[in-house]
Amino acid sequence: MTLEQLAKHFGKTVGWAWQHLSLLRLHPDVQKLMSPELPRSKQLRFSIAIMLVKWSVDEQTAIAARIVEGRWKLRRARHEIRKRAQQLGLETGGAKRPRQPHDDYRILASFLRRISEDAELLLGLKAKRFDEMFAARSQIERVRMLKSVEECIESLTLIRQHVERPAEAQRILSS
């Protein structure tokens, strides 16, 4: 059966047929991670799996396991795959132009907007709601949450320092 026939059989495009056939190049253990019978949090997404088809079995299984076990979000998984692919000189299944400074600016602006929006929602909660949130949780979970908050503050502080740097230089020059 040709790709065209396969695509026609499913009422899809040739590209769709090619992508789905290429999944057969994944190690069976990686293919199993795509099973719809697995809980969604334990599944490997199609768009991520397709990035791994040209990789060695060892690399496929290693990164797929890290993605699923770490419950990485799509954005992080794609980033880590691209980073690892660059280290290994491998392809990730898609032609992507190198990231430019304006791309990084857009990513930073989007990140800060999301944080601001989410913080606004959380800060709209009453203190009592925070108490209720942790009422059924162990003290260990509260400590973990505090640690996560501290790590976020540290990361945001570093980002702030990077953003402030040119502003400081401008102030010095204009003095």
Does some domain include residue 147? yes
Does some domain include residue 21? yes
22 and 70 belong to one structural domain: yes
82 and 110 belong to one structural domain: no
pLDDT per residue as tens digits for the range 100-150: 889 899 999 999 999 999 999 999 988 889 889 989 899 999 999 999 999
30, 60 contact by CB (below 8 A): yes
Torsion sign across C-alpha atoms 111, 114, 119, 120:
positive
Question: What is the secondary structure of 34-68 as a DSSP string?
Answer: T-TTS-GGGPPPHHHHGGGTTS-HHHHHHHHHHHH
Does some domain include residue 94? no
If phi > 0 it is left, if psi is from -120 to 50 it is alpha, else beta; for residue 93 that is left
CA dihedral 40, 44, 48, 49 (to 10 degrees): -140
108 and 84 belong to one structural domain: no
Q: Which of 54, 88, 122 is the last residue of a domain?
A: 88
Tell me whether residue 73 is exposed, middle or buried, using C-beta atoms within 10 angstroms of its C-beta: 0 to 12, 13 to 18, 19 or more. exposed
129 and 159 belong to one structural domain: yes
What does the pLDDT read at residue 175?
62
Confidence of residue 1 (pLDDT cuts 50, 70, 90): confident
Which domain range does residue 164 map to? 101-174
Of 17, 16, 12, 25, the closest CA to residue 1 belongs to: 17
37: tokens are 């019978």
52, 63 contact by CB (below 8 A): yes
Q: Which of 46, 66, 88 is the last residue of a domain?
A: 88
80 and 106 belong to one structural domain: no
- Per-residue pLDDT at 166 exceeds 80: no
- Per-residue pLDDT at 96 exceeds 90: no
12 and 84 belong to one structural domain: yes
76 and 106 belong to one structural domain: no
Does some domain include residue 161? yes
Does some domain include residue 20? yes
81 and 9 belong to one structural domain: yes
pLDDT per residue as tens digits for the range 36-86: 999 888 889 999 999 998 888 999 999 999 999 998 988 899 988 888 888
24 and 82 belong to one structural domain: yes
70 and 117 belong to one structural domain: no
Number of folded domains that form the chain: 2
Q: Which of 65, 88, 111 is the last residue of a domain?
A: 88
